[in-house]
């Protein structure tokens, strides 16, 4: 009598599933080379790093660069801008893919639905350099936005040099770029909803709107929760490339964030220890935020990432 399945040798198992392991190889190599291996560089945050001496031979200075960051004149303003811009993105940008995916799900013409979805996520594949050129053209004094403003009798606005409007420009362009791409996960979650739930809702007399509110939306709450936790953990990542391109001497005090300050003070100035200390600080804060939001989500909604 057979008491258990015969276990195959590990090598034979890997060979039989080689296609899956090959698919997994590239992500593993990427994360190893660009995420795990660079962790050895954390040590320079605690040293007066010299490229000539290397990681280990450079002078140990302890928390000196962390004290330099926190006592810096520019740090409080950069920290405030980072948190504000990230919160604006979270408050306005996070719900948009959810709303858009629910609207797309209600489109009955499959061809129109595919075309709309394709057009919406195409901006994700454009670099911020291209988008910055488009935004500059759209918001210039002779661009279509200011032409519309003048048509209604108002004064034109130099958006990219306006401390009042530049944060709105950052948030709106960020939403436009990532809206369609962000809907893919939600559409996948909606596609997995049991159709019997819709049939039961129809039997109870629920229309399309009530089906969306009471069936579709609750079904994708776990996906929403996990993505919200991940977004909360990256709240100090306010968008380096976008802000770097849109920063000028006029709007710098309004939109300079920790990443651009680190780049300016650490990389451009050659003070790599400063940059490493700032990066380590951001990572530590991000981890704390993820753990906190995960614990809060588990306590309140019984859905969590960890």
**Segment 249-274, tens digit of pLDDT:** 888 889 998 888 888 888 888 888 88
Model confidence at 7, in pLDDT bands (50, 70, 90)?
low
**Segment 194-219, tens digit of pLDDT:** 888 888 888 888 888 888 888 899 88
Compute the half-sphere exposure of residue 84: CA atoms within 13 Å on the CB side of its CA.
15
CB-CB neighbours of 270 under 10 Å:
10
Residue 133 belongs to a domain: yes
What torsion do the CA atoms of 70, 76, 78, 82 make, to the nearest 10 degrees? Answer: 100
CATH number at residue 140: 1.10.3720.10
- DSSP H/E element including 162: none
Residue 47 pLDDT greater than 90, yes or no: no
As a whole-number percent, the residues of the chain with pLDDT over 90 amount to 17
Residue 100 belongs to a domain: yes
| Average of per-residue pLDDT across 47-62 | 82
Residue 1 pLDDT greater than 50, yes or no: no
CA 194 to chain CA centroid, Å, is 30
Which residue blocks in the chain are alpha helix, DSSP H?
Answer: 10-16, 18-31, 54-57, 64-71, 75-88, 95-105, 110-121, 128-139, 144-151, 166-191, 195-203, 208-211, 217-219, 221-233, 240-246, 252-255, 258-262, 272-301
- DSSP H/E element including 39: none
| Average of per-residue pLDDT across 211-238 | 85
Average pLDDT, the chain: 85
Model confidence at 14, in pLDDT bands (50, 70, 90)?
confident
Q: How do beta strands 59-60 and 47-48 pair?
A: antiparallel
Residue 220 pLDDT greater than 70, yes or no: yes
**Segment 160-181, tens digit of pLDDT:** 888 889 999 999 999 999 998 8
Model confidence at 302, in pLDDT bands (50, 70, 90)?
low
Structure tokens at 299: 């306590």
Domain that holds residue 216: 57-301
Q: In the prediction, which pLDDT does 280 show? A: 85
Which residue blocks in 122-256 are alpha helix, DSSP H?
Answer: 128-139, 144-151, 166-191, 195-203, 208-211, 217-219, 221-233, 240-246, 252-255
Output the CA torsion sign for 236, 239, 245, 248. negative
CB 262 within 8 A of CB 279: yes
Residue 49 pLDDT greater than 60, yes or no: yes
Q: Cα(217)–Cα(201) distance, rounded to whole angstroms?
A: 13
CA angle 169/165/97 to nearest 5° reads 35
Q: In the prediction, which pLDDT does 204 show? A: 85
Q: Cα(9)–Cα(6) distance, rounded to whole angstroms?
A: 10
Tell which wins on pLDDT, 184 or 293: 184
CB 262 within 8 A of CB 243: no
Residue 223 belongs to a domain: yes
| Average of per-residue pLDDT across 132-143 | 90
Residue 44 belongs to a domain: no
Residue 30 belongs to a domain: no
Residue 37 belongs to a domain: no
**Total domain count for the chain?**
1
According to DSSP, the residues that pair with 48 across neighbouring strands are 59
Tell which wins on pLDDT, 53 or 170: 170
Residues whose CB falls within 8 Å of the CB of residue 51, separated by 6 or more in sequence, listed in order:
none
Residue 36 belongs to a domain: no
Residue 74 belongs to a domain: yes
Model confidence at 41, in pLDDT bands (50, 70, 90)?
confident
Residue 305 pLDDT greater than 80, yes or no: no
């Amino acid at each position: 009598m057979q008491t258990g399945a015969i276990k195959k040798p590990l090598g034979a198992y890997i060979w039989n599933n080689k296609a899956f392991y090959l698919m997994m190889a590239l992500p593993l190599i990427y994360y190893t080379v660009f995420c795990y291996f660079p962790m050895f560089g954390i040590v320079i945050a605690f040293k007066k790093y010299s490229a000539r001496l290397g990681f280990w031979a450079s002078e140990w200075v302890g928390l000196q660069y962390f004290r330099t960051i926190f006592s810096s004149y520019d740090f409080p303003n950069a920290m405030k801008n980072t948190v504000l811009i990230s919160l604006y993105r979270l408050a306005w940008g996070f719900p948009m893919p959810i709303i858009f995916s629910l609207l797309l799900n209600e489109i009955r013409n499959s061809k129109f639905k595919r075309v709309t979805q394709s057009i919406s996520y195409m901006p994700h594949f454009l670099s911020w350099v291209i988008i910055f050129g488009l935004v500059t053209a759209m918001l210039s004094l002779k661009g279509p936005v200011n032409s519309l403003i003048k048509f209604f009798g108002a004064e034109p606005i130099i958006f990219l040099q306006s401390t009042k409007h530049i944060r709105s420009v950052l948030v709106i362009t960020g939403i436009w770029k990532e809206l369609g791409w962000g809907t893919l996960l939600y559409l996948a979650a909606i596609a997995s909803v049991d159709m019997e739930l819709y049939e039961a809702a129809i039997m109870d007399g629920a229309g399309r709107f009530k089906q969306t509110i009471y069936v579709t939306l609750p079904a994708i709450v776990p996906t929403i929760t996990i993505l919200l936790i991940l977004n909360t953990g990256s709240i100090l990542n306010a968008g380096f490339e976008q802000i770097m391109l849109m920063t000028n001497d006029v709007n710098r005090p309004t939109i300079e964030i920790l990443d651009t300050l680190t780049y300016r003070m650490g990389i451009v100035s050659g003070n790599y220890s400063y940059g490493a200390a700032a990066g380590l600080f951001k990572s530590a804060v991000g981890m704390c935020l993820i753990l906190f939001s995960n614990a809060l989500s588990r306590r309140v909604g019984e859905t969590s990432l960890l």
